[in-house]
Structure 1
């Protein structure tokens, strides 16, 4: 029996086809394209894609297709991506292997043909590894899409797992300068309010690089063309009216109605959609119906051999039944010897028609067949499918170990969301499984530093499961779920003696509450440390103390923290945990540097970085080099920090650590800013933003751009970046000084330049109100300097006078608590104090000379230019005009080179007030309008502003008597009788600014 239901003539979709041709053309020109095609079930998405792929192949493109597989609640991890890579491997062979050279072990998680996955001990054990896998996948596609156009299609995204969606999102954002088209389809009518695809699509809509196409239903004339194609003859008006009315233009329903009319004549169908879809199934021979029902419960696609094992039909009978179903256009045979329904709607109708007992029995048969002959399905799909079959068979004894095995496989592929979903299913069936099964499970095998049980205690096995769920939730980016699991574990341990496990869970809780901005995590770490008192060293001890040392580095770098880090190093070495040891060493180096032992701290970090690089401990690489770079910059060794960044960036790229690249570029930007290389600094920040992968990285990039804009005086750009920074910072805890203090520096500088002195003061007060311990010279001195400059520039401003004394006192008090361990910190301390004295009106040349001497030899051109400007100002007030002019010219030239707008304007104002040349050939006495000299024009401006002779003298560094003479001369030259008339005339003639 053969029924043609698909029209050989492609009907309609003219605008969509034109759009896809344009997409292909743009990709061929080297601009990667991302397209989402949505539409209700049966509207014709797959047919449009098939036609497009045919055109792409005719144009010389390499095409590959994959489809999301419906297994469990959220699909098989990375299944469509693996299918696409496998198709590319078949077509490109050695070329793909060459493109993956150097990281095939990591990509082996998606395409086993490339090699065994990299062992966790070498690759690292945290969630950064998933980002690394994504980056290496993007790099592989970019390499393959350099010389040819690739068209990669992934269908049925509504069945996708979260890991697949995460990878697609990464590819959409990260592919650059390659000839790649990523085309994805999904069923829009399936996307209900809580469907996991809905937020994903909403996020993609914000990306300008991703375009969505929604397919509508056919018009009446298009349905006519479709029926004519199916029948090789034009339909009658009566039949067209009936089919169009009942199908409502849905292409698949048109096909079904056309076939049904052939079978039984017009009007023979039920109005039920399910009955409509089952008409041709029920017309099959009984054996073929049995095969179709079995296939419906087996998943989106089923292998020929597995189908035979489950149905227990002879080969000839099975082929005959399949031939009937394929001929009736119910099933389709794929090239990899698998079968699937030609349309998912038919499968859903068939599956819905099964009785509940039928479903569970069929699931059991699939599971038993797969247990008996594991080779019936691909090895990378077997664990997930077996877990799904046993789960739906409702056999807890078999389902629990199968689910945990699938969870371990998902972890190996960095599919953490799917791993968590499977572990939740394990928790769901836990109580139903026999005790003998629960106590023999290999749990917690991949949970860092967790104390493993000997598997003879059911209670401990349950805690092991909760431990695995805790870490998996954190890796999956679901800290709320992780915190709920931790709290459940703690309730379970009440009145039970499990101190090591309790300490481990408290440490996990510390990390989770920090991630959720529900605290800084120290109380939880303190509880964990107390629980370990009196016990012999163990991996848990090393883990807890390493976490405690890391916490002190970020939140409380007082000298006593070094002892905590030393203990963490010692414990890590005792238990043979090199990763914990290196992390503890990194914390130790940071604490040493904050405590004034910078040289020793740098050497500790250099050694840790060397070991991490030598052993390719990718999980530690980021902390080593990012912290070393930051430490060198913080203690004033900016050139060395640049060298570290230049060494580490190629390694981060080689390892595929994209977000680490963002951190390295960001710290490099800090050093370039200090060195006065602002154009390079901006380029580094933009690269940091381009490679950022987390809200933290995006926020810090925006903060750096805001600081640069404030330094340049670009308040429009500063405001925009501060807005972006705030948006991203709202997603995590920013109380740590390394975040909070630079943010405050940017906000204080921005508010001060806008004249919002009270807002600037409020930013400082709120930041200091956190009650942080003394320390953090790297981040706190620049913040205090920005606050001091604000008060210095606000002197004499009436609105700023109330509260200024209190603000100055607050800055001095904080400065007194900070260390001055390095030349750069001591120089900042002297500069801050000089600015505060300027705010009080008591600064003298000696104050600024001391600051200038402290900055001598430090590569800080912006600070040195400001000090030269301030020193020139005080010298001018004391009548040392020649030296003042020299310093002012130097400051002006440096400000001009940097592009430091506010500093440049201040230098020009001082030159104008003091009648000092900014260049050697500048003539300060050049006559001006109405015969007024430049100095007289300066005096006139102050007269127009309502200043008295004494105020004019103070402002222009002259005596009151000289000011009086200038005013008399001005009145005579303007031929006016008083100061009021002079001011009015000056404004009317434009002799002074507004």
Structure 2
């Protein structure tokens, strides 16, 4: 007897089906006599569902019996599942089986020990009429049901022998007087037209009390959950999406594909072998047709298959009918589709190398003859596999053009890259490709790769082609590649100097008023603006604008105008910039220029954000994101950037649940860098909420710090707070230093504005930690704080020198950095500022964030202002600031801030009520000071940690000693421990 199934795989996505199945048999309600036929494809999860049903029945006090049908071909043992059922029953209840067997010998006939070839010498198996066996089995089930509800599970009926099917027919027709429920499962995809179970199921379904239930494939969301639950480590969204797509809702396939991902295999051998069993059951002609179909992929038209299968019309129709009846192929319109994509993969992988080449060549010939319809993508695929490289290149370029035209940059990039790999190979390049413009193909490929969300790959392929250019390459071609290199460098963070590339390109194009010079002027202006060279950028942009208008180049005109509008905004005229961007967007829509439209919208959103108009910025960013998705460019520059900035804006505005929604890439297949950027924004919310487990995601995101400054800045700020709030100050400071280092290298600058925010966060963590260290160590904290503040001031100074307008956000963070530095000196007791100076600094910081309206940081700033106000004896204003901060912290779920408010704010008494109940004579503040006294802190150290005066601490300590009846601090600590007033 096979072992009972047991699994640690969680039941995912089957709650509704489990409830339905349990309801049909009456588990959890009134038990009934019924039968359920559970159908579903192989691997879809029937056994797992029945295992859960059995567990639920066991918990409800039911008796469960399980039997399996096995694949013995034509040698199946009659009544095998019932032999298993009775065998297990004999193990569990030997007396019951012995009693029933004595009265009804047919029961003994079905027991496992009575059906072996190795019977004792002289013994012979009993001969029983079928009717006796049927009655005996029915009687056993009826007798068992007298003691309580009985659930009988029979699995894999598609392998059942005729005797088992007949016995089930008898049980279904006869029914039971007691609560006996029979649930039998079978593979619906195995039931071809001539399968013997097919007719039996049709007959059973007409019997009263027999229900049919089809188990559908899992939803994509359920497969995602399943994969996440069984995959040991982190899995990128792209890899996860691939598994979900290939599994097509099949739980077993999903599990096998996870294994394949872990071992780096395309299709596991065991899974391939299982899939090919279905192919082996076909006759020769059907196998031939299916193999030919597999070369076409998942789907093939009848006309195209007829042209390549090598069968006459009659033989092909019979072969296809056999494949359809065996559920290998499914007819869809005038085509045939493999029932499962993995089956097509398995069949294709099973082909011999020569067989593949021959079939692909036949497909090429059929498509090139135009006798059957096909696409350039199909032709390109077959030509590559048939080693017809000339046809493969021309078809791949056409397929790439088609994909770009319909908003499929990922597909286009794949086609172009394949063509570029052949054309760009000077050694193995075949004859017949001399007419292919290698430079133009490189530019097309770069644009598609960039639009698909892979800026670093786009940059690399242009660099490769530039390096491979022969010495006699004309200036125009070299300039075209340099312009493409500069454009790619401007779209992503890189150490490639875009300005050097565009400067050389401009030199190569000469002074003649050509289209190429107009484009070079435009990208050169962009490169100058990126390097904060405002005057130079203005000059080149104006030249590009003039030449673009002269030559009638709307894209050049729009790009140059956009650069000029950005410069206008930086110079302090955002209103004019806004009007210009709005005109650019409107014109681009009229012209159908999606790239210009997205760029204009992106800059319009940034303008609103810099001005602190968060609601309008969010609206524009959302519009840009939606437009990018609608045009098939969700990961392209500007469109994807808008999605990221929409999340950032939502974070700042305190709409943290929206951040989670925007950054969730479930069901998508994002490029790895895009996933890292969105993950970095999501970490900001995790930090605000104190979700320390988010640090587990840090290594995966950190891998992109040297490639994308935005990832570094976003996740770095979160890392500073997550590490700092969890007590690891050294790690928090390392994060700060690594982020600053990676960004300055990438952006090729000495400082950057976001450094002010990072520095303010780091100084804030220093101020939080300095009261906890010995006096000798505090000087080092102060020196580190001085250096961080100096770097922030230098970032602000450089921005002003470059005449760059610093918006409300930058101003707020600069003031906050100054206030945090004063708090650090105050808490450290080294060169401590007077309290009026400290109060003024924090009031200014609150005002800064009230202007920019960063909800979380405004609340955190108010919390720290409340401490200062309370230390000055201004209880009412302190309470007001703390209450406002607490309201925001509760709404956001900002647990670290709530902890800060509980420890330092005026609401401490409420949060420490439970501690106060240990001894009603001590106030919450006295409990807090008592703990520090017991830790050996001096009054001065306690005052600095709690931001109160030393005199106030002294009064509290005197009160504590009096209430506890202690003569001194040591005795007070001992008494407190004995009374349970101190907790580790």
TM-score range, shorter chain: 0.5 to 0.7
Alpha-carbon distance change, 545 to 745 in structure 1, aligned in 2, over 3 angstroms: farther
Specify which of 732, 736, 750 is matched with residue 760 of structure 1.
732
Partner of 2:271: 214
Could you say which residue in structure 1 is the equivalent of 2:818?
833
Q: Which residue of 1 aligns with 2:722?
A: 750
1:991 maps to 981
Structure 1 383/888 Cα, relative in aligned 2: closer, same or farther at 3 Å? Answer: closer
TM superposition score normalised by structure 2: 0.60
1:589/1:601 contact within 8 Å kept: yes
Q: CA deviation digits over 1:695-748, x for unaligned, max 9?
A: 333223322222122223x233xx42x443542563585443x33322221111
- Within the candidate set 479, 494, 497, 1:503 is matched to 479
Q: Does the alignment pair 1:909 with 2:887?
A: no
What is the RMSD of the two structures over their aligned residues, measured on CA atoms? 6.1
Render the CA deviation track for 1:277-302: whole Å, top value 9, x for unaligned: 79999xxxxxxxxx999999999979
Give SS of 1:977's match.
Answer: coil
**1:699 corresponding residue in structure 2:** 676
What is the aligned partner in structure 1 of residue 372 from structure 2? 377
1:576, CA displacement in angstroms?
3.7
The residue correspondences of 1:804-823 to structure 2 (distance < 5 A) are 804-818=782-796, 819=799, 821-823=806-808
Would you say 1:787 and 2:762 are equivalent positions? Answer: yes
Change (3 A) 1:471 1:552: same
Closer, same or farther: CA 552–989 of 1 in aligned 2, 3 Å: farther
Query: Cα distance, 1:625 vs. partner?
Result: 2.9
Please show how residues 287-436 of structure 1 align to structure 2 within 5 Å: 374=370, 376-378=371-373, 380-381=374-375, 385=379, 414=408, 415-416=411-412, 417-425=414-422
CA distance in 1, matches of 2:509, 2:678: 42
Cα deviation per residue 1:33-87 (whole Å; 9 max; x = unaligned)?
xxxxxxxxxxx9xx985858999xx9xxxxxxxxxxxxxxxxxxxxxxxxxxxxx
The residue correspondences of 1:517-596 to structure 2 (distance < 5 A) are 519-522=495-498, 525-526=501-502, 528-532=504-508, 534-548=510-524, 550=526, 561-596=537-572
Match of 1:871 among 865, 869, 883: 865
Of 683, 686, 700, 1:727 maps to 700
Post-superposition offset of 1:607: 2.8
Aligned partners of 2:452, 2:495: CA distance in 1, in Å? 21
In structure 2, relative to structure 1, the CA distance for the partners of 1:185 and 1:431 (3 Å cut) is farther
8 A contact 1:670–1:681 mirrored in 2:
no
Aligned match of 1:605:
581
Alpha-carbon offset, residue 930 of structure 1: 7.2
In the other structure, the counterpart of 2:894 is 900
Distance of aligned partners of 1:493 and 1:706 in 2 relative to their CA distance in 1, 3 Å threshold: closer
Write the distance in 2 (CA, Å) between the matches of 1:594 and 1:405: 43
Q: TM-score, normalized by length of structure 1?
A: 0.59
Q: 2-side partners of 1:334 and 1:758: how far apart? A: 64
Alpha-carbon distance in 1 for matches of 2:356, 2:492: 45
Q: Which residue of 1 aligns with 2:647?
A: 669
Distance (whole Å) between structure 1 residues aligned to residue 536 and residue 882 of structure 2: 46
Aligned mates of 1:931, 1:350 — CA distance in 2:
85
User: Contact conserved, 2:307 with 2:366, CA < 8 A, in 1?
Assistant: no
In the alignment, structure 1 residue 19 sits paired with structure 2 residue 44: yes
Offset of residue 753 of structure 1:
0.8
Instruction: After TM superposition, give the deviation of residue 502 of structure 1 in Å.
Output: 0.7
Q: 1:539 to 1:762 in 2, by over 3 A?
A: farther
Q: Distance in 1 between matches of 2:532 and 2:498?
A: 10
Q: 1:800 to 1:501 in 2, by over 3 A?
A: farther
Aligned pair count reads 739
> C-alpha distance in 1, partners of 2:947/2:301?
91
Retained in 1: the 8 A contact 2:585–2:600? yes
Structure 1 position 980, deviation (Å): 0.9
How far 1:367 sits from its partner (Å)?
7.6
State the Cα distance separating 1:836 from its structure 2 match: 0.9
Alpha-carbon distance change, 518 to 385 in structure 1, aligned in 2, over 3 angstroms: same
Distance 2:593 2:526 in 1: 18
* Contact 1:420–1:472 (8 Å) recurs in 2: no
* Aligned mates of 2:490, 2:422 — CA distance in 1: 28
* Contact 1:665–1:685 under 8 Å retained in 2: yes
Structure-2 separation of matches of 1:963 and 1:395: 85
- Distance change in 2, residues 1:545/1:938 (3 Å): same
> Alpha-carbon deviations, 1:794-849, whole Å to 9, x = none?
33342564253134223333333324633443233222211111212325222223
Whether the 8 Å CA contact 2:422–2:429 is kept in 1: the answer is no
The question of whether the paired residues in 2 share the 8 Å contact of 1:658 and 1:691 is answered with no
Alignment of 1:125-524 (within 5 A): 214=271, 374=370, 376-378=371-373, 380-381=374-375, 385=379, 414=408, 415-416=411-412, 417-425=414-422, 441=435, 443=436, 461=437, 463-464=439-440, 486=462, 489-490=465-466, 493-496=469-472, 498-510=474-486, 519-522=495-498
Alpha carbons 1:586, 1:624 under 8 Å: kept: yes
Query: Which of structures 1 and 2 has the larger relative contact order (alpha carbons within 8 angstroms, sep 6+)?
Result: 1
CA distance in structure 1 between the partners assigned to 2:528 and 2:290 by the alignment: 63
Q: For structure 1, which segment, 604-613 or 934-943, has the greater mean C-alpha deviation from structure 2 after superposition? A: 934-943
Q: Within 1, Cα distance between the matches of 2:650 and 2:506? A: 45
SS of the aligned residue for 1:947 comes to: coil
Residue 449 of structure 1 is matched in structure 2 by none
2:241–2:669 Cα contact (<8 Å) kept:
no
Q: Structure 1: give runs of 5+ residues left out of the alignment.
A: 1-12, 26-43, 59-148, 153-165, 203-211, 219-248, 257-276, 282-290, 312-316, 444-460
- Name the SS for the 2:770 alignment partner: coil
Partners of 2:786 and 2:821 within 8 A in 1: yes
Give the 3-state SS of the residue equivalent to 1:976 in structure 2. Answer: coil
Deviations 1:83-136 (A, max 9, x none): xxxxxxxxxxxxxxxxxxxxxxxxxxxxxxxxxxxxxxxxxxxxxxxxxxxxxx
Report SS of the residue matched to 2:966.
coil
Q: 1:683 to 1:964 in 2, by over 3 A?
A: closer
Point out where structure 2 has 5 or more consecutive residues left out of the alignment. 1-37, 51-157, 159-186, 199-215, 220-236, 800-804, 826-831
Q: Secondary structure in 1 aligned to 2:483? A: helix
Q: CA deviation at 1:24?
A: 14
C-alpha contact 1:515 1:732 (8 A) present in aligned 2: no
Query: Which stretch of the first structure deviates more once superposed, 478-487 or 844-853?
Result: 478-487
Other structure's SS at 2:771 match? coil
